[in-house]
Amino acid sequence: MNTKNGLFITVTTLLILCWAVFPAQAAIPDNFDISKNYYSVYGGPDLNATLIGDNQYSRGDTVTLNLNMMNKGEISGFKSEKDADIGEYTDQMLQQSEMQYEAQATTAVGILATLKSDNPNIKVKSGSQEAGTLQQGKESASPTKFTVEINKDTPAGIYPLTLDLSYQYQSNVQVGGDDFDSTTGLVTNKEVGIWYENKTQTQTVNIEVKKEPHFEVTNVTGDLYPDEGGMLYVTYKNTGEETAKDATVRVSAADPFSTTDDQAYLGTLKPGDSEVAAFDMDVDDTATPKPYSLSSEIFYEDSDGHDQTSDTIKINTEVMAAKQSLPGFELGTGITFVALATCFVMFRRKKQN
């Protein structure tokens, strides 16, 4: 096809599209006969997205989902709307040309992928992603990526995500022209009109949150005072679905706390089991009496024998106000001492007499 013919086709396509939307503002080219629609085609694109790699993740993860797309579209049939008369070479050439264009109806043009989650524990952080144009039988050159955040308290299980794939496809083609070159057998002023329609396909992409131990602090006791500290007792519960073997907890002491006793052995915690960890905490003498939060982690062996580390587990505690002497305690003590000393002196004099 030469440049001139290509220009005719491009311009006519744009005009026909504009005519379909704004019939009062755009005219069909003179050489284009809207009545000469030789074929109607049945079928179109059929997109299918597949998650690349493992679909199992841990609670608390932020992951990137890689979706590969394939167009399995097909032409299911043609319907002849008009046959060219024998000897009408221009019409015959236009009819053959339309058939070639109609075969492109399976191409998905301008794919826009949108991933959504209906579960508040699973959040899709990425917006809609452009996935280009995909011909029949072809796979995407690169995966379409979505970032997904899994809440750290998400129960184990299967979570369906909804994937919407919106695109345009060629729904109809018509050709026109009346300048037939008998030497080349071509219509030299051929013009092509292409009608596109919008389509959205929806499918489900499943991800799985794995069964694992999960730990929560269910109780905290212990009185901590400035310049004194004290024992802190923390109850940890395995609220997950799997057993944690040889579990050890370590607390991270930050101002105003310090400790040389930052680890405690919890042992084996089955789902639902609780264990108390005791920490000997020191508190700075300038500590302000108020609530504080400490961080802790649990190291354990999973059901496959692999060493694991939990997410950070917060310990909410409080520094109490410094202990105060009772009013008049020091004065009363002094008076008592003076009285006892006076009695002692009088007793000795009496004994000497």
Bigger pLDDT: 97 or 4?
97
In this predicted structure, the answer to whether residue 270 has a pLDDT above a threshold of 90 is yes
Picking from 209, 225, 245, the residue at the C-terminal end of a domain is: 209
Is 229 a domain residue?
A: yes
User: Could you write out the three-class secondary structure of 26-44?
Assistant: CCCCCCCCCCCCCEEEEEE
Based on the fold, state whether residues 39 and 176 are members of the same structural domain.
Answer: yes
Is 11 a domain residue?
A: no
> In the prediction, which pLDDT does 166 show?
97
Based on the fold, state whether residues 39 and 186 are members of the same structural domain.
Answer: yes
Picking from 148, 176, 209, the residue at the C-terminal end of a domain is: 209
Across the range 22-27, mean pLDDT stands at 38
Cα–Cα distance measured from residue 140 to residue 66, given in angstroms and rounded to the nearest whole number:
11
Bigger pLDDT: 335 or 178?
178
Is 85 a domain residue?
A: yes
Output b/e per residue, 293-314; b: 16+ Cβ within 10 A.
Answer: ebebebbbbeeeeeebebeebe
pTM across the whole model: 0.71
Bigger pLDDT: 249 or 27?
249
Is 341 a domain residue?
A: no
Picking from 193, 209, 225, the residue at the C-terminal end of a domain is: 209
Which of 277-291, 312-326, 335-349 is least confident?
Answer: 335-349
126: exposed, middle or buried (C-beta count within 10 Å: 0-12, 13-18, 19+)?
middle
Output the CA torsion sign for 342, 347, 348, 349.
positive
Based on the fold, state whether residues 41 and 175 are members of the same structural domain.
Answer: yes
Count of structural domains, the chain = 2
Q: If pLDDT is split at 50, 70 and 90, which confidence band does 228 have?
A: confident
Is 16 a domain residue?
A: no
Bigger pLDDT: 278 or 90?
278
Cα–Cα distance measured from residue 32 to residue 172, given in angstroms and rounded to the nearest whole number:
15
Output the CA torsion sign for 267, 271, 276, 281.
positive
Bigger pLDDT: 340 or 261?
261
Bigger pLDDT: 40 or 2?
40
Cα–Cα distance measured from residue 85 to residue 90, given in angstroms and rounded to the nearest whole number:
10
Cα–Cα distance measured from residue 80 to residue 99, given in angstroms and rounded to the nearest whole number:
10
Based on the fold, state whether residues 177 and 219 are members of the same structural domain.
Answer: no
Q: If pLDDT is split at 50, 70 and 90, which confidence band does 3 have?
A: very low
Based on the fold, state whether residues 165 and 230 are members of the same structural domain.
Answer: no
Is 17 a domain residue?
A: no
In this predicted structure, the answer to whether residue 240 has a pLDDT above a threshold of 60 is yes
Q: Cβ(283)–Cβ(222) under 8 Å?
A: no
Domain that holds residue 232: 215-319
Closest Cα partner for 45 from 165, 158, 127, 214? Answer: 165
> In the prediction, which pLDDT does 74 show?
86
Based on the fold, state whether residues 94 and 114 are members of the same structural domain.
Answer: yes
Based on the fold, state whether residues 48 and 179 are members of the same structural domain.
Answer: yes
Based on the fold, state whether residues 157 and 288 are members of the same structural domain.
Answer: no
In this predicted structure, the answer to whether residue 351 has a pLDDT above a threshold of 90 is no
* Residue in this structure with the two tokens 């000469």, named with its chain if needed: 36
Is 231 a domain residue?
A: yes
Radius of gyration in angstroms for the set of CA atoms belonging to the chain, rounded to a whole number: 40
Across the range 206-210, mean pLDDT stands at 97
Parallel, antiparallel, or unpaired for β 230-238 and 215-221?
antiparallel
Closest Cα partner for 235 from 293, 319, 315? Answer: 315
Which of 29-33, 119-123, 205-209, 253-257 is least confident?
Answer: 29-33
Instruction: Convert the pLDDT of each residue in 307-329 to its tens digit.
Output: 999 999 999 999 999 876 555 44
Q: If pLDDT is split at 50, 70 and 90, which confidence band does 37 have?
A: low
Bigger pLDDT: 93 or 341?
93
Based on the fold, state whether residues 190 and 249 are members of the same structural domain.
Answer: no
Based on the fold, state whether residues 280 and 171 are members of the same structural domain.
Answer: no
> In the prediction, which pLDDT does 11 show?
38
Across the range 131-146, mean pLDDT stands at 95
Q: What is the CATH number of the domain that holds 123?
A: 2.60.40.10
Based on the fold, state whether residues 55 and 138 are members of the same structural domain.
Answer: yes
Calculate the average pLDDT of the chain: 80
Is 187 a domain residue?
A: yes
Based on the fold, state whether residues 179 and 252 are members of the same structural domain.
Answer: no
